[in-house]
Structure 1
Amino acid sequence: MSEHDAAQEVLRLEGLRKRYNVGKPTEVEVLHGLDLSLHRRDFAALVGASGSGKSTLLNVVGLLDQPTEGELYLLGQPTRRMDDEGRTRLRRESIGFVFQFHHLIQAFTALENVLMPLIVAGGKPTPAQLAWGRELLAQVGLSGLEQRRPDQLSGGQQQRVAVARALSTRPALLLADEPTGNLDSHSAADVFALFRKFNREFGCAVLLVTHDPRLSAQCDRTITLVDGRIASDE
């Protein structure tokens, strides 16, 4: 990855606000005018107490929900006024998601699960895509297990499949919501190391939500949310 690529801005929030029940007596503002940017080389933790707005922010950043005010730029493209089709396409092509629960499809093999975003987008995977899926599984230490179904894998192995799936589209931004919350300490360390590896080698920006101070301490940057505002970013 060149210096120019590494410096590329992946995400920018300008005055981002999110309200629910707008115009009703129960209207509440959860995010209060956030300004934030992430670049290709960034590896950031998002921390804060329950109710601080972390999940809301992750949903907005992941284009799963729209801000009420302000703008969200993804790879330089303003997204607030995009139609659903445009947002879906940009999300599919540019963002990878890893959740606390791996959400693998039990009827499919590890390889098929990894390639699912590509299958949804384009149908039957090409030979090149199959090779890419095998390479990703090898990168996460699961070479030889391509044909196993999720119930034939350990919890840590299933989460590694989920990490590989999130990277199958070569996303510019990887969003991880408590990705090690269900894992033992050894498996958690392995999964965290994978995020580090792909951040360095593929240049995808990483935003990782965690309650684990040991995990956030290993990130290059920690963004702390307090009551829907960024209290610190260092």
Structure 2
Amino acid sequence: MSESAQPSRSGADPASPVLRLDGLRKSYQVGTPLETEILHGISVTLARGEFTALVGPSGSGKTTMLNVIGLLDAPTGGELYLLGTPTRTLEDAERTALRGRSIGFVFQFHHLIQAFPVLDNVLMPALVQGARRTRELDAQGMALLDAVGLAAHAHKRPNELSGGQQQRVAIARALFTRPPLVLADEPTGNLDTRSADDVFVLLRRSNREFGCAVLVVTHDPRLAQRCDRILNLVDGNLVSDQPVVQAPT
């Protein structure tokens, strides 16, 4: 991978966890007769470079948990530390800034902007934060597209690519700001088996080469068993947190 595609050196303590949840709770319709608690005191830590699966039945709170971890929603109890920063009481602008520089997102549906070429989609996280479009920025985007095997498609529109290729663009986009944490919500759920395996392998390789922590929600036990660790969420409770016995090769 080229120098521009190497992990950033933010100056943060490499031994400190990327993410720590301390008694995290999340309720909706707070203060009303319909108040419902979805997450019930979740405590967990993710280390740098760790590749973790989040599994559980539908309705167990996985999406809520991912939204809170991704700073898209605020917890109603406990605390969430991202790179050592407590986030529960952050103002919206502070939360947005921290999310933008610290977290990359990969969704089941890639959410690429069809009106823009592939390269522009990869650059989007930097552009929306006010970065100037420069040759250096383009070169960084091209390095990531090369890393995911799509440099030749940089100037195509997303709808000219297959579903698997579009998801690989989404991964390149998630990695563009070199975030210490990548959240992937069913990233292979909309793909055929071969494309799903290609996308998972790419996420795994990116995790190893960039050193980012990855938390991936999946319903596929085969993929979960290829992670370092499996978190099992049931009815808003973390019922197990176990390492995978045999590490992926």
| Bin for the TM-score computed over the shorter chain | over 0.9
1:19: Cα distance to partner? 0.6
CA contact (8 A) 1:5 1:40 kept: no
Whether 1:219 aligns to 2:219 is no
> Unaligned stretches of 5+ in structure 2?
1-6, 243-249
Measure, in 2, the Cα distance between the counterparts of 1:212 and 1:133.
31
Residue in 2 aligned with 1:151? 159
Measure, in 2, the Cα distance between the counterparts of 1:125 and 1:57.
34
Secondary structure at the aligned position of 2:129 is classed as helix
Secondary structure at the aligned position of 2:151 is classed as coil
Q: Pick from 113, 117, 129 the counterpart of residue 137 of structure 2.
A: 129
Secondary structure at the aligned position of 1:19 is classed as strand
AA aligned opposite 1:19: S
AA aligned opposite 1:175: L
AA aligned opposite 1:178: E
State percent identity of aligned pairs: 64
Query: What are the Cα deviations for residues 95-142 of structure 1, in whole angstroms up to 9, with x where unaligned?
Result: 000000000001100000000011111244222211110000000010
Whether 1:99 aligns to 2:107 is yes
Output the TM-score relative to the length of structure 1: 0.97
Whether 1:18 aligns to 2:26 is yes
CA contact (8 A) 1:34 1:230 kept: yes
Whether 1:202 aligns to 2:210 is yes
1:42: Cα distance to partner? 0.8
1:224: Cα distance to partner? 0.1
Whether 1:39 aligns to 2:52 is no
1:52-201 correspondence to structure 2 within 5 Å: 52-201=60-209
CA contact (8 A) 1:13 1:36 kept: yes
> Unaligned stretches of 5+ in structure 1?
none
CA contact (8 A) 2:80 2:87 kept: yes
Whether 1:48 aligns to 2:56 is yes
Measure, in 1, the Cα distance between the counterparts of 2:15 and 2:161.
38
Root-mean-square deviation (CA, aligned residues, Å) is: 1.4
CA contact (8 A) 2:108 2:188 kept: yes
How many positions carry a matched residue from both structures? 233
Residue in 1 aligned with 2:247? none
